[in-house]
């Protein structure tokens, strides 16, 4: 999720665990700081574009690492806070503030390595967009309500923050329910057996809500893209097909290509470039033809016939003019038809 949301979640957790025991905004500030700590891994240079991309949300988002880190951080925090906070409460605060960060990230499409150092594929529930006001606003309003009420009636100040956390959590549950509705619709449209879409169909929310969903279907040498709203009438789901090349043997054997395939769960597009190079596109983030993460793979060279490491291709920032049609698509099945690129 975006940094504001992670800070808001951490601050709400800090207020819930420590708010009654610390004066001023100390609990909120500590929660916001710990809640954003796992994302500092973006400052680590891994040496090449694919590693920089796929190792974000790696060890720093591992439940094992964070559960081990929590009691270590809790000790100096407990000594600093004084007798108002026990070591056990300090430990609980550090654990919750740290672990809720990757837990929330797992609901987005990027991919979060909850089980690092295991090589299990990153968790990508893809039920909430990276920026969703319907999740963030309850946290901010609830936290603001608690801070306001504390100045007037401290005995009743906790409930707005608790309500904000509860509403945000219920929204995550609703996002999973909406995703299940869309996936069932896709399986009916494509005449797939129930559950057969796993690994070939991606459903992910369009920007800013869980009302409109983008669907990607990977099918050998092509992929399809479509949109479906929770308000769509029967038969409104339509796909457009785009070509994708098959990887040559040297590319299929390239460790960085294999890591990209693992990280994206196979949802990538492939395009041949001049001089035998290939462009690999992560189809999960963006929309046709604007994708955020692209990589160039050059063929083997030199006596060793070793392929060089890939390089990042500047991604296409999603067009701002697309937001209006996307919002209209929630209630109008034809709103995107003139805006989307034609099928290949």
- Note the helical H segments in 37-114: 49-54, 63-81, 87-105
In a domain, 187, yes or no: no
The more confidently predicted of residues 317 and 313 is: 313
Q: Compute the distance between CA of residue 286 and CA of residue 280 in angstroms, rounded to an integer.
A: 14
**pLDDT value of residue 308:** 84
The confidence band for 210, taking pLDDT boundaries of 50, 70 and 90, is very high
Region 26-50 average pLDDT: 93
Tokens representing 116 are 């690092």
Instruction: Verify that 217 and 139 share a domain, yes or no.
Output: no
Same domain, 170 and 293: no
Work out the pLDDT band at 115, boundaries 50, 70, 90: very high
Number of independent structural domains in the chain: 2
Give the pTM.
Answer: 0.91
Q: For residue 305, what pLDDT band results from cuts at 50, 70 and 90? A: low
**Per-residue confidence (pLDDT) for residue 320, from 0 to 100:** 67
Q: Helix crossing, 133-150 with 3-18: angle to 10°?
A: 40
Binning pLDDT at 50, 70 and 90, where does residue 344 land? Answer: low
Q: How far is CA 132 from CA 88, 141, 156, 171, 298, in A?
A: 34, 15, 29, 10, 38
For residues 249 and 293, membership in a common domain is answered with yes
| Rama region for 239: left / alpha / beta (φ>0; ψ in -120 to 50; rest) | beta
| pLDDT of amino acid 271 | 94
Q: Considering the domain boundaries, does residue 186 fall inside one?
A: no
Tell me: do 205 and 141 sit in the same domain.
Answer: no
Decide which of 130, 159, 176 is a domain's last residue. 176
For tokens 């395009």, name the residue. Answer: 271
pLDDT value of residue 302 = 65
344 occurs within a structural domain: no
One domain, residues 72 and 154: yes
Average pLDDT for 59-63: 96
In this structure, the answer to whether residues 66 and 213 fall within a common structural domain is: no
Q: Are 330 and 212 in contact (CB under 8 A)?
A: yes
Q: Which regions of 123-266 does DSSP assign to beta strands (E)?
A: 201-205, 212-219, 222-229, 239-243
Query: Is 338 among the domain residues?
Result: no
Instruction: Of 40-54, 99-113, 227-241, 295-309, give the lowest mean pLDDT range.
Output: 295-309
Give the model confidence (pLDDT) of 317-328 as tens digits.
666 677 788 888
Give tens-digit pLDDT for 140-180: 999 999 999 888 887 788 899 999 999 999 999 999 999 99
Bridge partners of residue 253, in order along the sequence: none
What's the number of CA atoms in the CB half-sphere (13 Å) around residue 303?
0
Asked, for residue 18, whether it belongs to a domain, the answer is: yes
List the domain range (segments joined by +) for residue 171: 3-176
Among 143, 152, 139, 34, smallest CA distance to 95 is for: 34
Residue with tokens 């809720």: 100
Is 343 among the domain residues? no
Would residue 334 count as lying in a domain? no
CA 290 to chain CA centroid, nearest Å: 18
Same domain, 148 and 212: no
Q: 172 with 210, same domain?
A: no
- Crossing angle between the packed helical segments 158-189 and 133-150, to the nearest 10 degrees: 170
Lookup result for tokens 């005449």: 191
* pLDDT(341) > 90: no
Q: How far apart are CA 287 and CA 212, in angstroms?
A: 13
């Amino acid at each position: 999720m975006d940094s504001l949301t992670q800070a808001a979640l951490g601050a709400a957790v800090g207020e819930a665990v420590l708010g009654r025991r610390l004066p001023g905004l100390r609990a909120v500030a500590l929660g916001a700081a710990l809640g954003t700590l796992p994302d500092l891994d973006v400052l680590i240079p891994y040496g090449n574009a694919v590693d920089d991309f796929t190792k974000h949300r790696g060890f720093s988002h591992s439940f094992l690492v964070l559960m081990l880190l929590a009691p270590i951080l809790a000790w100096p925090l407990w000594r600093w806070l004084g007798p108002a906070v026990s070591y056990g409460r300090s430990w609980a605060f550090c654990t919750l503030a740290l672990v809720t960060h990757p837990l929330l990230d797992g609901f987005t499409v990027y991919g979060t390595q909850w089980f690092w150092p295991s090589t299990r594929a990153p968790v990508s529930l893809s039920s909430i967009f990276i920026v969703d006001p319907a999740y963030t606003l309850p946290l901010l309003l609830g936290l603001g309500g608690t801070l306001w009420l504390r100045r007037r009636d401290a005995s009743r100040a906790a409930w707005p923050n608790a309500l904000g956390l509860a509403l945000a959590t219920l929204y995550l549950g609703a996002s999973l329910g909406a995703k299940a509705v869309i996936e069932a619709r896709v399986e009916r449209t494509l005449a797939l057996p129930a559950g057969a879409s796993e690994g070939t169909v991606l459903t992910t929310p369009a920007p800013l809500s869980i009302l409109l969903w983008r669907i990607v279907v990977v099918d050998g040498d092509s992929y399809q893209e479509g949109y479906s709203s929770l308000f769509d009438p029967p038969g409104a789901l339509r796909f457009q097909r785009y070509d994708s090349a098959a990887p040559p043997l040297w590319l299929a054997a390239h460790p960085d290509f294999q890591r990209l395939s693992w990280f994206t769960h196979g949802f990538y597009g492939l395009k041949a470039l001049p001089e035998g190079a290939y462009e690999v596109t992560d189809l999960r983030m963006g929309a046709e033809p604007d994708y955020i993460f692209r990589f160039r793979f050059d063929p083997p060279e030199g006596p060793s016939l070793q392929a060089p490491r890939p390089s990042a291709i500047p991604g296409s920032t999603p067009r701002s003019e697309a937001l209006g049609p996307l919002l209209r698509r929630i209630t109008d099945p034809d709103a995107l038809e003139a805006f989307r690129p034609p099928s290949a």
